[in-house]
Amino acid sequence: MAKNDASNGYVLVTGGAGFIGTNLVRALAESGRDVLVLDNFARPGVERNALWLTSHWADRVRVVRGDVRDAAGVASWVRGAASVFHLAAQVAVTTSLTDPVLDFEVNARGTLNVLEALRSHPCPPPLVFTSTNKVYGALPDVRLLKRMNRYEPASSNGIQAGISEDRPLDFHSPYGCSKGAADQYVLDYARSFDLPCVVFRMSCIYGPHQWGNEDQGWLAHFVLSALRQLPLTLYGDGLQVRDALFVDDLVDALITASERASDLGGRAFNIGGGPSNTISLIEALNTISALVGRLPPLDREQERVGDQKYYVSNTGSFQRATGWMPKVSLAEGLERLTAWLRENHTRGSEHALLHAQAAPGALNA
């Protein structure tokens, strides 16, 4: 297979005006790369992100309103790309439960359109696809212990270093199925058609430009709720644990994977903050209360379908392959997120954005 010369085209970022996309595009533009941002502007806040990108890097960043469900459009956008980051997705489990057909069309069919565009490319560019830890399901067989304000795995599970890629797949919820199907298509196209494709199965990502809500971006949602004193619903007992990765560290990993796609192609990697950056919902509320000075009004509801009581990424495979490791601690990252949201949450039309839920079919990551 002929290699794609990264100097001969732009970087295509689908969902590039979303939270992760905005941070990735910023890093690419700062490094001197030309970037084509593809987004359908379905989620609140992406217009502001797009304006921020083009106002800072007008000579590097071009934004196109488009949809990954448009196969012909995807083919044309991929044709000029030297590398592709496929972040566009329907991101909410709740939306997938109310409209599973839409969820499938965006996540599974949209990804297939991207892969077909790569397959028809004379020199297929590297692709990094952002999948999810939801492909491992609710992990019902992992025995947990309650300790203080969190769940911890019993030592008999052998997962003190986190969940590895050896964990059997167990798609749960339509969202888990659609992202899982896309995940497997990416890996199979790498195998069947020799495409340089890498999959990231991501845990909790957080940082600037994240306007979180209760469906996606929970750490930012907690901070925003505390800042504005908006009611916050806590689903389950609050002991659920996640590992959290600051977005700058994810961006480093994404760029590294793209640059190393020729030897990493066909592999899936679990990406998150790892065991050293874990936090429960209750612990997060306590930390945010200390940073903001108050807690938001709290309501309680039963746990939601497919919610994992404990998920921590074992990032050892990617670390061994590339040398990458998270640099930003959870304490530092939460301080930086809170400072950014404190500075930005009252500007312009953000009052409306904070009350908006994820729009159906949102193509953002």
Active site residues: 175
CA angle 198, 61, 7 (to 5 degrees): 55
Angle CA 91–96–100, to nearest 5? 130
| Residue showing tokens 């209360």 | 289
Taking a C-beta distance cutoff of 8 angstroms, is the pair 126, 258 a contact? yes
Q: Cα 113–29–56 angle (5° rounding)? A: 115
Distance CA 115, CA 128 (A): 11
User: CA 274, 362, 182, 252: dihedral to nearest 10 degrees?
Assistant: -40
CA distance 288 to 315: 26
Q: Which two tokens stand for residue 329?
A: 């601690």
Contact 49, 22 (CB under 8 A): yes
